[in-house]
Amino acid sequence: MADEQPKSDAPTRRKCLKYGSAVVTAGLLAGCSSNDTGSTETPESETATRTETATAENTETETETSDDGSYSVSMEPVGTVEFESVPETWATYCQGYADMGIALGKSDGLLSVGYKPRLHTHWYDELDGVSVDKESLQQLYQGGIDKELFYSMGADVHVIDPNWLMNNFKGWEQSDIDELTENVAPFLGNLIFRQTDQWHDDYRYYTMYEAFEKVAELFQEQERYQAFRSFHDEYVRGRVAEKLPAEGEGASIGLVYAAGDEPEKFSPYRLDTGGTSIKHLRDLHVTDAFVGTDVEGISSTNRTKIDYETLLEVDPEYLLVKGHETKTAEEFQDTVVEYLRNHDIGSNLSAVQNDRVFRGGPTYQGPIHNLFLVERTAKDLYPDRFSGELFDRDRVADIINGDF
């Protein structure tokens, strides 16, 4: 679909996006979306198809609001984007950005995510008045991403790093990004869930809360963001951090992805490469069991997997397994861990023998998810230090619902 011409009846924005220091102006239109829901299953990872990178040499600036209500937001790699009014509808791929928007009270305007099973909404059930209609969302990934989905949604803004589309999905070119910016809405986003992609080396990454602040500027929800950040610092950097081992003395973990209930191969993650998907582990001062080994972290260009023999050579103190967030702790123990206990080689792992195998967290993580993951993982790794509910659900719900 990459070389198909724009739909003649598509909503038109006034200027096209240009990389560098150019400004993109979005004439935002409300109420022009439709939520077609995709249902195609997808594997854990998408295959890299390109290595080209569009880069920007923009300078970060504070959000500026003019007398007529228009304002601009700057974020690499796109640069500075101007808005005539606050977006009412928005599309995203990475569920971490979806979680940011939800934290800012913008769930009603969310139109899409990349793959709906990875938007873990069960945590929202614990927050009074916070909900997401996941079934109504458009699933972008359906064996690839069809450009026509962006026309059918008609979002006011695409909270997506355009380089992610061009470097990770077959058929996407800079011309497609320019076309959608001109005919639908601008892009504003930065791929932050991992930091192992070579195509991202030419422009900066953002921490979770740096990106969260940009999303808050986009939606003009700076006060709600500040309330959420203050709560995070009080809880994660305060009460939890006070009970943790010193930096460099935390639990030694091997973080891997393994699909299915009877895994035979594992995709390793390296903790020293950053990324928001492992923020909860950095928050808990863990150490990386793969340090000093030849094991490399997963990326869009490195899909190498390790076997049980390699894992046994490393023999991490704790084994944290991604890919099982739809399971409860009990279901994970009864399936994956039980299989490891009966495996000829896996049963020899120290983590298996000492009952130290746990779920590792989702691929994508946002600020709400982070609060729950810090709590869960703190109790998994340090049961002698943490128990019960570690943070006030009602206070978090109040912030999301606008009572801050």
> Who's near 70: CB < 8 A, 6+ residues apart?
82, 83, 84, 85
Strands 357-359 and 318-322: parallel
Residue 57 has pLDDT above 60, yes or no: no
* C-alpha separations of 367 from 100, 204, 244, 268 in Å: 6, 20, 20, 24
Whole-number percent of the chain with pLDDT over 90: 75
Q: Are 307 and 344 in contact (CB under 8 A)?
A: no
Match 């109420």 to its residue by tokens.
Answer: 31
Residue 330 has pLDDT above 50, yes or no: yes
Helix (H) or strand (E) holding 163: helix 162-168
Where do the structural domains in the chain lie, given as residue ranges?
23-220, 243-400
- How far apart (Å, rounded) are the C-alpha atoms in residues 263 and 357? 13
Question: 268: cis peptide before it, omega within 30°?
Answer: no
Q: Per-residue confidence at 62, pLDDT binned at 50, 70, 90? A: low
- For residue 261, the tally of other CB atoms under 10 A from its CB is 15
Q: Enter the tokens of residue 399.
A: 């912030």
- How far apart (Å, rounded) are the C-alpha atoms in residues 56 and 299? 22
Mean pLDDT of 241-255: 94
Question: Closest by alpha carbon to 141, among 167, 114, 120?
Answer: 114
Q: Concatenated DSSP letters for 79-90?
A: EEEEESS--S-E
Mean pLDDT of 167-195: 96
Residue 119 has pLDDT above 90, yes or no: yes
- One-letter amino acid of 395: R
Q: Per-residue confidence at 193, pLDDT binned at 50, 70, 90? A: very high
Mean pLDDT of 212-240: 98
Question: Closest by alpha carbon to 199, among 54, 92, 74?
Answer: 54
Mean pLDDT of the chain: 86
Residue 234 has pLDDT above 80, yes or no: yes
Q: Enter the tokens of residue 166.
A: 């061009």
**Contacts for 337-340: CB closer than 8 Å, 24+ residues apart:** 339/261, 339/262, 339/263
Architecture in CATH of 23-220: 3-Layer(aba) Sandwich (3.40)
pLDDT of residue 130: 97
Q: What is the pLDDT of residues 272-308, one digit of tens each?
A: 777 999 999 999 999 999 998 988 877 666 788 999 9
Q: Are 356 and 318 in contact (CB under 8 A)?
A: yes
Q: Per-residue confidence at 58, pLDDT binned at 50, 70, 90? A: very low
Residue 329 has pLDDT above 60, yes or no: yes
pLDDT of residue 30: 29
Mean pLDDT of 107-133: 96
* C-alpha separations of 153 from 31, 61, 138 in Å: 10, 30, 8
- How far apart (Å, rounded) are the C-alpha atoms in residues 172 and 162? 9
Superfamily of domain 243-400: Nitrogenase molybdenum iron protein domain (3.40.50.1980)
Q: Are 278 and 237 in contact (CB under 8 A)?
A: no
Q: Concatenated DSSP letters for 110-159?
A: EEEES-GGGS--TTGGGSTT----GGGSEE--SSS--THHHHHH--SEEE
pLDDT of residue 272: 79
- How far apart (Å, rounded) are the C-alpha atoms in residues 263 and 404? 45
Q: Concatenated DSSP letters for 101-115?
A: HHHTT-GGGEEEES-
pTM: predicted TM-score of the whole model, two decimal places = 0.84
Residue 353 has pLDDT above 80, yes or no: yes
